Amino acid sequence: MSSSKKTITRHRTATIGMVVVLFITLVVYFASESLLRNAMLKPIQREKVDFAKVLDWLPPKTKAELEYRARYLDLRQKYDRSTTREEKLQNAYKLAVHTRDMDEHNELLLPFINDPRYADLPGLYLAYGRMLYDPKNPKAISIPRYHAYLKTLKDPLELFFAWREGRDRLGKLGLRDAHIVNVEFLKPLLEKPLSFFLIRDYSYLLDNLKRNAKRISNDAASRIARKRELPGDAEKVGSMMQLSLDAEKLQNAVNARTDNYSVNDYRKLLTLRDKYQKALPGKETLTAAFELVRHTRNPAERAKIVKTLLKNPDYAKDPMILKIYAQVAGDVGKAEAIPITDFQKFVQNFPDPAGQYNGYLEALRRLNSLRASSEKKMALLRPLLSRKLKDLPFKDYAGFYDQISRCAVYLNDQNAFEQSTRLRDALRESDKPTLKEYLEAKKNTK
């Protein structure tokens, strides 16, 4: 009897235990299922996902195709959302470069080329360059048509970029006769006057023309030597070699110019012009003017700025005007420049003796920075030979007379040499103050 009671008790305990375990199991299941559901439904935080790593497991071709499509859709969306003409051209060009569909490529770019409304659009050369002379593109434009477009450009920087874009595009087409096509494209540069090459970087294009023309000549000569002459080879040997020599001569002339700019220097010039135009009256205008006249290589522009500033009586009395005006010293002998005699007269009449000295000093520094000739330095400093010792306020003038004496030796000007050395030595032996002492004494008397 007692054993049956124990058996019943064990079964009861086991049943209760199973019920408890089942209950706990159900609780855990539903809790975990709820957590899993929430995790699945929670939005992905894109900024915390590295999609490049997500794609790493894909086959290379599949990955490349997905990246192409993603980039295409992004560019297409930007193009469709473009509002301004400039923005539409920029996005059309980027999409045309990316797309593999030649028809789409042409449909994106040809409207900009064929529609007169876009003729004045900055950066239009990108569309022209992309459509230039591609044998694989039945709608590509010819080299003569590209040349006609170049003739419409007025901005020097835009014009250079258009020439460079065309040349670079031809270099990327993988043409078997690339050297011949390059010569055809660049040859019109030889017809341009030296003044056309305001951007010094044309030198690179002329070098390309020189080397490719020489190659055509050498190839023709080689075929003749191997008795595999083609029609016109005899003429090519001489004409292409002469073209190469002409290109080299022009290249050297462009490199030797002192009044042209690199691309970066010209961009800086445009920035300084804008800064000068927008400067507030007063010190800001004078500072901007000084930066511009120092950077521009156009004597006419420099002269115009100086004359404009001198119309303002306040500017004409400011010591800063001397630094600005002194920059015309480098333009001695140029027809469009302010005569150096005008600068000398202005300095001589400037009320402050220190200003007079600094005016000559700044002008001499300008000439030295340009490695000017002895004739130009003498033209600047010669009026000092007529000054009397008593009229020279500081010893520092001795430096000018030393410079005159050295120029006089080079120019074989005996009178100038004797006068300058006499004044130089007299100043050095005199009890006159230096410029620094003069300024300190003037400061203490106030």
Residue 135, number of CB atoms within 10 A of its CB: 11
Q: What does the block give as tokens for 316?
A: 């004409």
Residue ranges, the chain, pLDDT below 50: 1-2, 36-37, 39-41, 43-44, 46-47, 49, 51
> What sign results for the dihedral spanned by CA atoms 188, 192, 194, 198?
negative
Domain boundaries, the chain: 54-256, 268-372, 379-446
CA dihedral 74, 75, 76, 81 (to 10 degrees): 90
pLDDT at 36: 47
Long-range CB pairs of 307-311, under 8 A, 24+ apart, other chains included = 307/338, 309/285, 310/346
Contact in structure between 346 and 386 (CB atoms under 8 Å): no
pLDDT at 40: 44
Compute the distance between CA of residue 88 and CA of residue 76 in angstroms, rounded to an integer: 11
Spell out the residues 6+ positions from residue 375 whose beta carbon is closer than 8 angstroms to its own.
407, 411
pLDDT at 12: 63
DSSP sequence for 346-388: HHHT-S-HHHHHHHHHHHHHHHHHTT--HHHHHHHHGGGGG--
Orientation of helix 143-150 relative to helix 156-171, angle to 10°: 160
Compute the distance between CA of residue 300 and CA of residue 314 in angstroms, rounded to an integer: 23
Compute the distance between CA of residue 269 and CA of residue 291 in angstroms, rounded to an integer: 9
CA dihedral 280, 283, 284, 286 (to 10 degrees): 110
